[in-house]
Chain A
C-alpha cells in the first residue's frame, strides 16, 4: 500500500514526462507563429477557435469563402465615379464586375494574407488571391508580398514561386512569358480557374489558339463555377468557328 502510494504517482509523472519528451522531439509546427496573425476585420473570436480546436485549415477555408464573397460583391462607387454605361444607355454604373475582376477592394490583400497566416499550405487560395491582385487589380507589389509570405512558411510549394515569376514577367509587360510561366500551373489540381482563364486568354492573344482551346475545354469540363464554365464554352465556340474558317 505504501509502495503504491509513492510508486504510482512517480511512475505517472515519469510516463507523462516521457510523452512530453517524445512529442517535443518530433513536433515541427507547420504554421506561422501567432505573431504573424493579423486579423483584418471582425473575426478574432473565430481565429481563437481555429487555434483552440486545432482547426486552422477549416478557418482558412471559411476566410477563403469570405474573400470570394467580398471579391464577388460589386463595390459601392465613390462620389462622382458613376458614369453613363455604354452597354446600358440611360443607366449609371460604377463598373461591370465580370470575369475580369477589376476594382479597388482595399481589404483584399489583408484578407488574402490572413488565409495564408492560418494555412500557408492552402495553395489554391494563395494562387487565386495573388493572381487576382496581380492580373485583375493591377497590384503586383501586393501579389508579390502575398506569395513571398506563402513561400516563407510553405517553402516546398513550387506553385507560389512559379506565380511569383509570372508576376515579374507581367510587370515587365511580357504577356508571352507570363503564359509560358504559368503553363505548368494550369495542369495542377490546385490551380484556380481564374489563372486557367488568364492562361487561355494570353495564349489566344499570342495566337496559340490550340493551347487556348485545350485550357478552355479543361475549364468547361472541370470547373464548378458556372460563370467560368459558360465563358469557356462561348470561347470554345468562337475558337471552333475561327478554326473552320478557310
Chain B
C-alpha cells in the first residue's frame, strides 16, 4: 500500500508538471487549429463530409498526442537527471521501479487527458456540422491510447541509453512508423528468397505491430479491438518497463 502511494505521488507530480508545461498549451492550440482546418477538407468531400471530418480529426488527435507524448517521455528522465532532482527522489526510500512506474503512469494520464480534451473538441465540431458520434469512435480512441502507451514506454526505455531527447524522439518515431508497416514488412519478408526470409521475420518480432491497435483505420472492416490487442499492449509495455528498470538499475545515483 505504501509503495502504491509512493508510485501515485510520483505519477501525480509527473502529470501536474506535464500539464503545466507551456508546450502542452501550444499543442492544444495546434490541435484545435488542425481539427478546425479539417472542416475545409470535409466541405470538399460534399456527401462524405462526416467521414472525412471524422478521419481527419482522429488522425490529427492521435498525431498531436503522439508528438507531446514523445517529447514528454524523451525529456522527463533526462531533465530530472540533469537538474539532480532524481538524487532527491532516490535519497528517500523510493524503489526505482516505483519511480519508473510513477513516471510512466503520469505520462499516460497526460496522454489520456490530451485525447479526452481533443476528442471533446472534435465531437463538438462534428455536432456543429450536424453529425453524430461515429460508431467506431470509442474504439478508435482506445486504440490510439494503447499505441501511445506502448510508444511512451518504449521512449522511456530509449531515453535511458540515448544521448539526447532528440535522438530518443527520432528512434521512437522510427519505431512508430515501422510499427505501422509491420504487416506490409511481414508480407515482403515472406517473398524474400533463401535464408534471408526467416532472419527478416525474426527481426520483425522486434517491432511492435501497432496496426493491431489501429481501430481508426480499420473502421470500415472491424473496428472493435480484440482482447489480444490489450494483452499485446500490456506485454510490450511490461517489456519496455523491465528494460528501463534494468538500465536504471545500472546507473549510479
The chain A residues found within 8 Å of chain B, CB to CB, are 1, 4-5, 8-9, 11-20, 22-27, 29-30, 33-35, 51-58, 61-62, 64-65, 68-69, 119-125, 154, 192-193, 223-225
Contact = CB atoms under 8 A, between A and B. Distances in A.
B190 to A, nearest CB: 10
Interface string B202-241: 0001101111101011111110001111011111101110
Given A4-B249, A12-B242, A19-B239, A33 B187 contact: yes
B238 A30 contact: no
Given A26-B226, A223-B47, 9 more contacts: A13-B239, A15-B236, A23-B208, A26-B212, A27-B183, A53-B63, A54-B211, A56-B217, A61-B51
Contact of A23 (B51, B229, B245): B229
A181 B236 CA distance: 50
Contacts of A24: 209
B243 interface: yes
B232 A52 contact: no
Given A19-B232, A54-B211, A30 B245 contact: no
A26 B51 contact: no
Given A8-B243, A61-B48, A154 B232 contact: no
Contact of B184 (A5, A15, A51): A51
A198 to B, nearest CB: 15
Contacts, number: 152
A157 B247 CA distance: 50
A17 B206 CA distance: 8
A65 B45 contact: yes
A192 B135 CA distance: 20
A216 B235 CA distance: 55
A15 B238 CA distance: 7
Contacts of A1: 249
A4 B242 CA distance: 10
A12 B160 CA distance: 15
B25 interface: no
A-B interface, 5 closest residue pairs, ranked by CB to CB distance from nearest: A121-B220, A26-B228, A19-B235, A8-B246, A15-B239
B41 interface: yes
A105 B129 CA distance: 33
Contacts of B240: 12
B46 A12 contact: no
Contacts of B206: 16
Given A16-B235, A61-B56, A225-B47, A9 B246 contact: yes
Nearest to A30: B221
B44 interface: yes
Nearest to B188: A34
29 contacts: A5-B249, A8-B243, A8-B245, A9-B242, A9-B246, A12-B238, A15-B235, A16-B206, A19-B232, A19-B234, A20-B205, A20-B209, A20-B232, A24-B209, A25-B228, A53-B59, A57-B55, A58-B59, A61-B51, A64-B45, A64-B48, A68-B45, A68-B46, A119-B217, A121-B220, A121-B221, A122-B220, A154-B220, A192-B47
Nearest to A72: B46
Contact of A119 (B220, B235, B249): B220
Nearest to B242: A12
A11 to B, nearest CB: 5
Contacts of A11: 242
B139 interface: no
B235 A225 contact: no
Interface core residue of A14, A27, A34 (most chain B CB under 10 Å): A27
A65 B51 CA distance: 12
Contacts of A56: 217
A34 B219 CA distance: 20
